[in-house]
Amino acid sequence: MITFYKVFGGKLEVVESLEQLDRKSDIGWIDLLNPTPEEDKQIEQFLELSVPTKDDMKDIELSARLYSEDGAEFRTMTAVSKVHLDDPVKTPVTLILTPNFVVSVRYAELTSFKLYQQQALKKGGVQHAVAEAIMLDILEAMIDRLAESLETLGNEVDDISGDIFRGKRSSSKGKTGMLQFAIRKVGAKGELLNMLRESLATMSRLLSHHYIHQTDEHEPSKMIRLKMQTLNRDVDSLNDHAAFLSGKMNFLLDATLGMINLEQNQIIKIFSIAAVVFLPPTLIASVYGMNFRHMPELEWQYGYPLALVLMVICAALPILYFKKRGWL
């Protein structure tokens, strides 16, 4: 699907067809969402350049993601799309910058693009009628969305932390089950965080490459230069926050595993104490269960109750000793 936009009156306006756009005089944005080969060919003929395919966009080499060709700049980054509520996936996004148009090529719905569309279609949504400024506005929307995702992720991690350290469970089984569930949640959030950090890394690389390329080609305007510096600072701050969240999740994972080990050790401890407590009575019962003919105690009138009392005493002594040492 292709959506055409043209800057008019300080905002973007939707254009019905490509024939209504002038490649040399109009300023606009062409958004390709899951484009077909025919749609790619249509844009290639209009702009006289080659649109990268989905396989091309998956290449990780720097030369395949950030390059100039046919008078246009090709910038590919990694974005995060949530196909389902808790099923994030990585998806490549390519921005092609020409003198008058920005072409976005993507193969997934992205909330950041929807938000930018809503903003740019309003009056005053496009402050600078320059293709490069439109591209930077799109990048800003993507960075804002990454910031929101990191903030939401941070709140979810705080909730998991509360369940781990302040959650109350009536039974050991319930607590162990909660901790095991927390490990799965921390793992899922860690996977999402890794995707967001990868997206930030590609975003930072894109902005740095674009800034260097622009300064090499010509001196960018003050507005463009300030915009790029602001976006770079935002990405750096988000990277710092993502690193903090990564450290916090590693701590939660280690703490959860440690608490599970403590629960398991407590169970082993109970079995060990039980074995020690019942060992002396078992020894006494074994002695008097031997089939020897000459055992004087077998002739005692109170031999049986005395043996039972002796068993109880032998079982009670280890318990009292363990309590005195603080092991129980």
Are 311 and 215 members of one domain?
A: no
pLDDT score at 223? 80
Q: Are residues 216 and 307 in the same domain?
A: no
- pLDDT averaged per 10 residues, the chain (length 328): 83 81 79 88 85 81 77 87 71 88 88 86 78 87 90 87 72 70 84 89 86 64 81 91 90 83 76 79 78 72 79 82 72
Please tell me whether residues 132 and 11 are part of one structural domain.
yes
Q: Are residues 222 and 321 in the same domain?
A: no
Residues 309 and 162 in one domain: no
Both 104 and 65 in one domain: the answer is yes
pLDDT at position 260, please?
77
- The answer on 164 and 54 residing in a single domain is yes
From 240, 262, 284, the end of a domain falls on 262
Within this chain, do residues 142 and 234 fall inside the same structural domain, yes or no? yes
Q: What is the CATH number of the domain that holds 275?
A: 1.20.58.340
Rounded CA-CA distance 215/27 in Å is: 22
**Which string of DSSP letters, residue by residue, matches 77-113?**
EEEEEEEETTEEEEEEEEEEE-SSEEEEEESS--HHH
- Are residues 240 and 270 located together in one domain of the fold? no
Query: How confident is the model at residue 238, as a pLDDT?
Result: 92
- State how far the Cα of 296 lies from the Cα of 300, in Å rounded to an integer: 7
222 and 277 share one domain: no
Domain around 279? 265-325
**Final residue of a structural domain among 241, 262, 283:** 262
**pTM, to two decimals:** 0.76
Using CA atoms, how far apart are residues 139 and 93, in angstroms rounded to an integer? Answer: 11
For the packed helices 222-287 and 303-325, what is the interaxial angle rounded to 10 degrees?
A: 160
> How many domains are there within the chain?
2
DSSP summary character for residue 214: H
How much is the pLDDT for 83? 54
Question: Do 14 and 39 reside in the same domain of the chain?
Answer: yes
Dist. CA 269–CA 263, nearest whole Å = 10
- Residue after which a domain boundary falls, among 262, 277, 304: 262
